[in-house]
Amino acid sequence: MPVLHNRVNNEELRQRMLAETEPRTTVSFYKYFHIADPAAFRNALYVQLNELKVFGRIYIAAEGINGQVSVPQSLYEAFRDALYAAAPELNGIRMNIAVDDDGRSFWVLRMKVRPKIVADGIDDPTFDMSRTGKYLKAGEYNELAEKPGTIIVDMRNHYEYEVGHFENAIEVPSDTFRDQLPMAVDMLRGNEDKNIIMYCTGGIRCEKASAYMLHNGFRNVFHVEGGIIEYARKAKEEGLPVKFRGKNFVFDERLGERITDEVIAQCHQCGAPCDTHTNCKNDGCHLLFIQCEACAAKYSGCCSEVCHEEKDLTPDEQRERRAGRENGMMIFNKSKDHPLRKHRDEWKEQRTPKDESEQ
């Protein structure tokens, strides 16, 4: 029986990847379609992709597939053909090729079966994922975005929006996609007949969001085909004005791919212009935040003086300090004193019991 998961040390795999001489292509893809047996589908596809030296993350659920992987350039067509052949619905699936990438973001193939490919909190049995908004290609987006009254909605998290977003896009200030969906409906009430454009990184969240908005009575809903990644690629290929400002946050080792040279964010420690995300080097924190080179040197890659001091303590001293402390916050806007957290919590408190039951 073939091996269906990795059995090699993670650091060894990383070193093997770094020693490769053949360039790799990073590509993301997704598709909503029904999978009767996600585990069997996952195992069969894992065998094929593992043989093709594909690295990355792929999530599979009854509602479809979502992946971001890197592939040796000489095997890209074989990878694409294997994915096309995995199910009739995947034949011709759109591949979003990374804009700013060296192909070294992944070094192991991880394929997991999940309840959903995007956690959404939707339990309404009448919700129809097949009824989505209209796709917009890059040129169509530019045209519709310029029309008076068009509302552009960013369906990503705060830390993604902060470093880059489309011109005039509004943020839905929430920590999670499941909170964003009902929050977006509340924020846009009264605009049911206006043109509403939704977007995200690669298209998977905004496609579901567009279906949710239609489900809640909005009539003119659109979403950017392939998300920011495909928009940027097509706009540049076709010589179109690029309406996205700054950097596109991505969920791999890069933590971002540059779309334009404009830096719209600031270092969270000194306020200097900066859009470089990093994780706090203190193992008891790992906060995701924006840090400039000067502050990285000053704090040794840590998010605060406290973490800077704690990082160099002995393991026993670190454990004593961390006893009873909440760790694993991971992203800065979940910290209890962050204004977006307060905004989100206030919104939750205002929801009626009926509203909460509908999430």
Nearest residue to 284 (alpha-carbon basis) of 333, 324, 336: 324
Contacts of 44 (CB under 8 A, 6+ apart): 86
Confidence (pTM): 0.76
DSSP per residue, 241-284: PP-EEEEE--SSTT--EESSS----B-TTT--B---EEE-SSTT
What tokens were used for 298? Answer: 């000053």
Whether the CB-CB separation of 78 and 25 falls below 8 Å is answered with no
Q: What's the Cα-to-Cα distance from 33 to each of 30, 64, 123, rounded to whole Å? A: 10, 5, 18
| Residues with active-site annotation | 200
Q: Alpha-carbon distance 171 to 24, whole Å?
A: 34
What tokens were used for 183? Answer: 């929050």
Q: Alpha-carbon distance 263 to 247, whole Å?
A: 8
Look at residue 76 in the predicted model and tell me its pLDDT: 94
Whether the CB-CB separation of 285 and 303 falls below 8 Å is answered with yes
Mean pLDDT by 10 residues, the chain (359 residues): 61 73 89 94 94 93 93 94 94 82 78 92 88 95 96 92 94 87 94 96 91 96 93 93 92 78 93 93 87 94 89 80 56 40 42 36
How far, in whole angstroms, is CA 284 from its chain's centroid? 24
Strand partners, 66: 30, 59
Look at residue 117 in the predicted model and tell me its pLDDT: 92
Q: Alpha-carbon distance 134 to 211, whole Å?
A: 10
Look at residue 2 in the predicted model and tell me its pLDDT: 59
Look at residue 311 in the predicted model and tell me its pLDDT: 83
Whether the CB-CB separation of 186 and 174 falls below 8 Å is answered with no
The architecture CATH gives domain 134-246: 3-Layer(aba) Sandwich (3.40)
What does CATH list as the number for 10-113? 3.30.70.100
How far, in whole angstroms, is CA 17 from its chain's centroid? 23
Look at residue 216 in the predicted model and tell me its pLDDT: 95
Q: Alpha-carbon distance 340 to 336, whole Å?
A: 9
Give, in degrees to the nearest 5, the angle at Cα 325 between 320 and 329: 125
Where do the structural domains in the chain lie, given as residue ranges?
10-113, 134-246, 266-348
